[in-house]
């Protein structure tokens, strides 16, 4: 999503930039910064895969643990052609602050394999996943580091990881707590699949209350129609918001009177894209971001909104379902225009929150029903929003800085209390 002419900051540069701003605002000492800023562990693995044609194709994968100060590392696994170590380091760092914002006892981690899963058969995807899992075995485990789904990985991929770990580490019996986002039948949790989107909905409800805006009837634009984006659109449609445009990697669709999201989800399932949906007109990625609307939900990849296109954004609220969709330059422009930003480490934290619930259920062998999950999730999201917005108002800082101050402040506090080995 980077501009072809002007180079945008890398994801890790953005993460470090935002860390330093929060550390300055918190007046953290250089010693504490040195202890919490850098990744604790970085693993790069070779992933040779036997393809369906009998040949070996080589892939490269990563697992980064940014912090285990507050608990086991937690974070998704991404399969995408643009995965780099820089990106995985940034995503792991954001996970550390995110887990602290919602106050779950996890640190931050992330993983990825540089590959194009759309070009792999199901069998090739399974072999790649199992081989990658063997590569990262030294790091993962229910008490050390717990992966989850991210871009182009899903519950099935988590089931393969769980199975591979269980076969190799524990002589054959299942260890469901090693991953979250699993299918229900292998120890997954009710509500995990929709958790990120439900969290987006709750933070939007809070933001609208804070801004005295009405979510009912609000025009919503969604960039990225995957797990986070499509379910957010579905839930908001259920709250009578008008989803006027969405897109995915292949193109976008627009209808000023609102798209029928359940039908659009079926269309995407059948055809692989939102493109060509009846009762809609095509829209380019640039025009989609520039639409007149109340709410814009970036739900694709990093750097989607940057110095070159931020001025075109007209939304009153930007809800960051994706991680890192705004560059620091875009932040400045949107804040200057009075746009209210719900920052990623708050907005999309519903996913890791229900991942935490799933892990607790696995560890206790005691399962909760969907009502328990939804109530607990709503409480966590609304409490976290209140804590961030209070800092935003009291300290007169941006929502992003407020969220980073809350998360980074908690990690700094734990680190200072624990001290260092001599
Ligand atoms: P996904 O693989 O389910 O969906 C990604 C979607 O983005 C797909 O529809 C894809 O076509 C679309 N996309 C890719 N490139 C695009 C582009 N250039 N323009 C428009 N659309 C594009 O992934 P997901 O799990 O929904 O993750 C999306 C974002 O949300 C990521 O930033 C991820 O880190 C973040 N996130 C996801 C979760 C989760 O639980 N799934 C939790 C927190 C944050």
Tens digits of per-residue pLDDT, 337-396? 999 999 999 999 999 999 999 999 999 999 999 999 999 999 999 999 999 999 999 999
Quick one: pLDDT at residue 9? 86
Mean pLDDT of the chain: 96
Structure tokens at 181: 């986002």
Strand order in the sheet with 281-283: 281-283, 251-254, 242-248, 219-223, 295-298, 317-319, 340-342
Please check whether residue 136 is in contact with residue 111, taking contact to mean a CB–CB distance below 8 angstroms: yes
- The owner of tokens 């485990």 is 141
Distance 383 CA to ligand 1 centre (A): 25
User: Which numbered atom of ligand 1 lies nearest the CA of 154?
Assistant: 3
Take atom 8 of ligand 1 and give the residue whose Cα is closest: 226
In which band, very low, low, confident or very high, does the pLDDT at 421 lie, cut at 50, 70 and 90? low
Residue 419 backbone zone (phi > 0: left; psi -120 to 50: alpha; other: beta)? left
> In testing the pocket of ligand 1, which one of 8, 106, 179, 227 has its CB within 8 Å of the most ligand atoms?
227
CA atoms within 13 A on the CB side of 383: 12
How many Å apart are CA 369 and CA 9, to the nearest integer? 43
Q: What pTM was computed for the model?
A: 0.96
Residue minimizing CA distance to atom 40 of ligand 1: 351
Q: Give the CB-side neighbour count of residue 198, counting CA atoms within 13 A.
A: 21
pLDDT digits (tens, 9 = 90+) for 162-181: 999 999 876 678 999 999 99
pLDDT interval class at 6 (50, 70, 90): low
Q: What are phi and psi of 322, to 5 degrees?
A: -80, 165
Confidence of residue 1 (pLDDT cuts 50, 70, 90): very low
Give the pLDDT confidence score for residue 173 in this predicted structure. Answer: 85
Q: How far is the CA of 224 from the centre of ligand 1 (A)?
A: 6
Catalytic residue list? 110
Q: How confident is the model at residue 2 (pLDDT cuts 50, 70, 90)?
A: very low
pLDDT of residue 170: 62
6 vs 215, more confident:
215
Q: Which atom of ligand 1 is nearest to the CA of 195?
A: 40
120-125 LR contacts (CB < 8 Å, sep 24+): 121/52, 123/52, 124/49, 124/51, 124/52, 125/157
Tell me the mean pLDDT in the region 328-336.
Answer: 96
Axis crossing angle, helix 11-25 with helix 328-336, rounded to the nearest 10? 60
Convert the pLDDT of each residue in 126-160 to its tens digit: 999 999 999 999 999 999 999 999 999 999 999 99
Look at residue 171 in the predicted model and tell me its pLDDT. 61
Q: What is the pLDDT averaged over residues 257-262?
A: 98
Atom 20 of ligand 1, nearest CA residue? 248
d(CA 297, CA 290) in angstroms, rounded, equals 12
Given a cut of 60, whether residue 417 has pLDDT beyond it is: yes
**Arithmetic mean of pLDDT, 23-52:** 97
Average pLDDT rounded to a whole number, residues 288-311: 97
Inform me whether the pLDDT recorded for 215 exceeds 70. Answer: yes
Query: What percent of the chain has a predicted confidence (pLDDT) above 70?
Result: 97
pLDDT in tens, 79-120: 999 999 999 999 999 999 999 999 999 999 999 999 999 999
Residue nearest to atom 27 of ligand 1 (CA): 151
Using CB distances shorter than 6 Å, the residues near ligand 1 are: 1, 149-152, 196, 223-229, 247-249, 285, 299-301, 321-323, 348, 351
CA proximity to 165, closest of 41, 63, 59, 57: 63
- What does the pLDDT average to over 175-202? 97
- Tell me, in angstroms, the distance from the centre of ligand 1 to residue 302's CA: 10
369 vs 102, 144, 181, 203, CA distance in Å?
A: 21, 27, 16, 23
């Amino acid at each position: 999503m980077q501009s072809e002419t002007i180079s945008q900051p890398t994801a890790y540069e953005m993460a470090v930039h935002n860390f330093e701003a929060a550390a300055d605002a918190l007046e953290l000492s250089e010693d504490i910064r040195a202890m919490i800023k850098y990744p604790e562990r970085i693993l790069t693995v070779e992933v040779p895969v036997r393809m369906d044609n009998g040949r070996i194709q080589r892939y490269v994968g990563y697992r980064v643990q940014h912090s285990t100060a507050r608990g086991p590392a937690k974070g998704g696994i991404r399969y995408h052609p643009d995965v780099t170590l820089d990106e995985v380091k940034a995503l792991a760092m954001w996970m550390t602050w995110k887990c602290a914002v919602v106050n779950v006892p996890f640190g931050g981690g992330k993983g990825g394999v540089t590959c194009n899963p759309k070009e792999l058969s199901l069998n090739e995807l399974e072999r790649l996943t199992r081989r990658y899992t063997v590569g990262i075995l030294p790091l993962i485990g229910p008490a050390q580091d717990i992966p989850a789904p991210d871009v182009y990985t899903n519950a099935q991929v988590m089931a393969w990881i769980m199975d591979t770990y269980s076969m190799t580490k524990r002589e054959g019996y299942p260890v469901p707590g090693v991953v979250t986002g699993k299918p229900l039948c292998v120890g997954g949790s009710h509500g995990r699949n929709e958790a990120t989107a439900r969290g987006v909905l709750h933070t939007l409800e809070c933001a609208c209350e804070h801004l005295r805006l009405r979510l009912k009837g609000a025009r919503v634009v969604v960039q990225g129609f995957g797990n986070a984006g499509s379910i957010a659109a579905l839930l908001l449609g259920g709250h009578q918001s008008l989803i006027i445009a969405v897109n995915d990697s292949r193109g976008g669709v627009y209808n000023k009177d609102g798209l029928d999201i359940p039908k659009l989800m079926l269309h995407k399932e059948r055809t692989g894209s939102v493109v060509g949906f009846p009762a809609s007109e095509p829209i380019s990625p640039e025009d989609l971001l520039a639409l007149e609307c109340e709410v814009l939900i970036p739900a694709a990849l990093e750097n989607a909104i940057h110095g070159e296109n931020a001025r075109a954004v007209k939304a009153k609220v930007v809800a960051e379902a994706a991680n890192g969709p705004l560059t620091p330059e875009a932040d400045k422009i949107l804040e200057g225009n009075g746009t209210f930003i719900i920052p990623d480490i708050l907005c999309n934290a519903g996913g890791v929150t229900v991942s935490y619930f799933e892990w607790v259920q696995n560890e206790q062998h005691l399962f909760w029903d969907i009502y328990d999950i939804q109530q607990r999730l709503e409480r966590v999201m609304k409490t976290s929003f209140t804590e961030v917005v209070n800092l935003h108002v009291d300290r007169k800082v941006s929502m992003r800085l407020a969220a980073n101050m809350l998360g980074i402040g908690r990690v700094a506090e734990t680190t200072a209390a624990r001290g260092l080995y001599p």
